[in-house]
Amino acid sequence: MTAMLNVVWLQSGGCGGCTISLLNSDSRDLFGSLKAAGLCFLWHPALSEESGAEALEVLERCASGAERLDILCVEGSLLRGPRGTGRFHMLAGTGLPMTDWVRRLAAQARHIVAIGSCASFGGITAAGANPAEACGLQYEGELPGGLLGPRYRSQSGMPVINVAGCPTHPGWVTDSLMAIAMGSLGGGDLDEFNRPRLYTSHLVHHGCNRNEYYEFKASAEKPSDLGCLMENMGCMGTQAHADCNIRLWNGSGSCVRGGFACVRCTEPEFEEPGHPFARTPKVAGIPLALPTDMPKAWFIALSALSKSATPKRVRDNAVADHQVVVPQTKKPGPR
């Protein structure tokens, strides 16, 4: 029988939202499913029974090498302040900063996984003046570095695996952990920001239920409208690498299905777009942020053509909060 992989999960500078999201997994028995995949959680600060001295004993055994540490998961950004001491976030009962514990455990871990955009790139905690000196495990925004530095490699020879998202989809986390357990997540399975391609090989745009409005450039004008959110409402789904509208949240939802624009939360530095999240910056009426693989001239030409061909049904429904014109019934042409 293959040995179980030991997992330790730490929470650093963040809101705990990725753990909350994980508990919304489609699996009725989340940890039973992970155990069946060969994953044994030695400790999770919010979900394990061990606390106090018992929890610290688990961490010390792993940090010293007395207990094998196969996967270290870190949720939340790493707080290096003030002035690089890490003392803005002390691990209770140890007298040591969380950053010291992460470094010690990272030196022993066979794999290290950043859970969420904060642990991956710094995220919301690093926004603004960043007095906490928050950063990701191996990135600071879109630049390599972070707490562990760009040259860090785990015992398996892998960089930090960045399961980015704010919060992460539970499926991204469970699939990544299970892929590690099966030995099927290697360097070639990560993208340019070391995110698993199992979800970043798609765009949020893929599978969006507003795509008919996008195709005809029939745009929403206020949050309750059914139309495309890209032109006016700040949606960046055509530039965000994630499968949110293919792998729906709780089996039925996503941000754009709930009427909220995609803010590219899986991307580094999404937290500071330089404009209000719910507003699309434009020049001469053309959005500054265009789809990832479409030249500007093509987009302008396609928009003009699409708007001239927009059916009345699509145009009217785009600026309504419910369907006001239904599709026509039409017999097919000759076969």
DSSP string of 176-191? HHHHHHHT---GGGB-
- Number of other CB atoms surrounding residue 281 within 10 Å: 12
For residue 135, pLDDT over 60 is answered with yes
- In CATH, what number is assigned to the domain containing residue 25? 3.40.50.700
Percentage of residues of the chain with pLDDT beyond 70: 99
Residue appearing with tokens 């949050």:
223
Note whether residue 184 is domain-resident. yes
Give the number of other CB atoms < 10 A from CB of residue 202: 18
Region 214-227 average pLDDT: 94
Question: Could you count the other beta carbons within 10 Å of the beta carbon of residue 132?
Answer: 18
Residue 335's pLDDT band, with cuts at 50, 70 and 90, is low
**Nearest residue to 310 via CA among 216, 234, 227:** 216
Quote the CA–CA distance of 120 and 132 in Å, as a whole number.
Answer: 16
Q: Does residue 143 sit in helix, strand or coil?
A: strand
Cα separation, 163 vs 145, whole angstroms: 17
* Same domain? 25 vs 100: yes
**Domain match, 196 and 290 both:** no
Amino acid at 106: A
| Domain C-terminal end among 172, 200, 228 | 200
CB 218 within 8 A of CB 261: no
Confidence at residue 305, expressed as pLDDT on a 0 to 100 scale: 87
Please indicate, yes or no, whether residues 174 and 206 belong to a single structural domain of this protein.
no
Report pLDDT for 206.
96
Q: Pairing between strand 161-163 and 282-283?
A: unpaired
Residues 209 and 196 in one domain: no
pLDDT above 60 for 248: yes
| Selection from 160, 131, 122, 109 nearest residue 13 by Cα | 122
pLDDT of residue 332: 79
Instruction: Indicate whether 334 belongs to any domain.
Output: no
How many domains, in total, are found in the chain?
A: 2
CATH number for the domain harbouring residue 216? 4.10.480.10
Stretch 254-279: mean pLDDT, rounded?
95
Whether residue 194 sits in one domain with residue 255:
no
> Rounded to 5 degrees, what are φ and ψ at 217?
50, 45
In a domain? residue 72: yes
Q: Up-side HSE of residue 295: CA atoms within 13 Å toward CB?
A: 3
For residues 170 and 251, the answer to whether their CB atoms sit within 8 Å is: no
pLDDT digits (tens, 9 = 90+) for 52-86: 999 999 999 999 999 999 999 999 999 999 999 99
Asked if residues 127 and 14 have their Cβ atoms less than 8 Å apart, the reply is no
Q: Is residue 312 part of a domain?
A: yes
Same domain, 173 and 60: yes
Query: Are the CB atoms for 171 and 25 separated by under 8 Å?
Result: yes
pTM: 0.94
Is 222 among the domain residues?
yes
Residue 240 CA to residue 270 CA, distance in Å, equals: 10
pLDDT of 145-164, one tens digit each?
999 999 999 999 999 999 99
Per the structure, the complete domain to which residue 250 belongs is given by: 202-326
Is the pLDDT reported for residue 1 higher than 50?
no
Question: Does any domain span residue 335?
Answer: no
pLDDT digits (tens, 9 = 90+) for 5-16: 999 999 999 999
The yes-or-no verdict on residue 4 having pLDDT over 80 is yes
What six digits make up the tokens of 43? 């400790």
CB neighbourhood size of 106 (10 A): 22
- The answer on pLDDT for 185 being more than 60 is yes
**CA distances to 100, 117, 158, 232 from 18, in Å:** 22, 10, 23, 29
Query: Is the bond into 150 cis (omega within 30 degrees of 0)?
Result: no
The region that residue 65 occupies, defined by phi over 0 for left and psi between -120 and 50 for alpha, beta otherwise, is left
* Same domain, residue pair 96 and 195: yes
Q: Are 23 and 86 members of one domain?
A: yes
